[in-house]
Amino acid sequence: DAGITQSPRHKVTETGTPVTLRCHQTENHRYMYWYRQDPGHGLRLIHYSYGVKDTDKGEVSDGYSVSRSKTEDFLLTLESATSSQTSVYFCAISESPDHYEQYFGPGTRLTVT
Amino acid sequence: AQKVTQAQTEISVVEKEDVTLDCVYETRDTTYYLFWYKQPPSGELVFLIRRNSFDEQNEISGRYSWNFQKSTSSFNFTITASQVVDSAVYFCARKSGGYNKLIFGAGTRLAVHP
For chain A, how many residues are written? 113
Percent with pLDDT over 70 in chain A:
96
Yes or no, beta carbons of A43 and B91 under 8 Å apart: yes
**Which is more confident, B40 or A96?**
B40
**CA end-to-end span of chain B:** 40
Cα–Cα distance for residue pair B108/B20, rounded to 1 Å: 10
Within an 8 Å CB–CB cutoff, is residue B25 touching chain A?
no
Query: For residues B5 and B105, is the Cβ–Cβ distance under 8 A?
Result: yes
From the CA of B45, how many Å to the nearest CA of chain A?
6
Chain A residues 57-96 within an 8 A CB cutoff of chain B: 58, 88, 90, 92, 94
Distance from CA of A69 to the nearest CA of B (A): 18
> How many residue contacts between A and B have a Cβ separation below 8 Å?
55
What residue in A sits closest to B95 (Cα-Cα)? A100
pLDDT at A37 over 70: yes
Going by their DSSP bridges, the two strands B10-14 and A31-38 should be labelled as unpaired
Q: Tell me, what amino acid is at B61?
A: S
State how far the Cα of B44 lies from the Cα of A35, in Å rounded to an integer.
Answer: 13
A104 touches chain B (CB under 8 A): yes
In this complex, is the C-beta atom of B50 within 8 Å of any C-beta atom belonging to chain A? yes
With beta carbons under 8 A apart, name residues in chain B contacting A103.
Answer: 47
pLDDT digits (tens, 9 = 90+) for B11-68: 999 999 999 999 999 988 888 899 999 999 999 999 999 998 888 777 888 999 999 9
B4 φ/ψ angles, rounded to the nearest 5 degrees: -120, 125
Q: Where does chain B show beta strands of DSSP type E?
A: 4-5, 10-14, 19-21, 24-25, 33-39, 46-52, 59-61, 64-69, 74-79, 88-95, 102-104, 108-113
Q: What dihedral do alpha carbons B44, A80, A61, B74 form, nearest 10°?
A: 30
Residue among B35, B101, B107 whose CB faces A101 most closely: B35
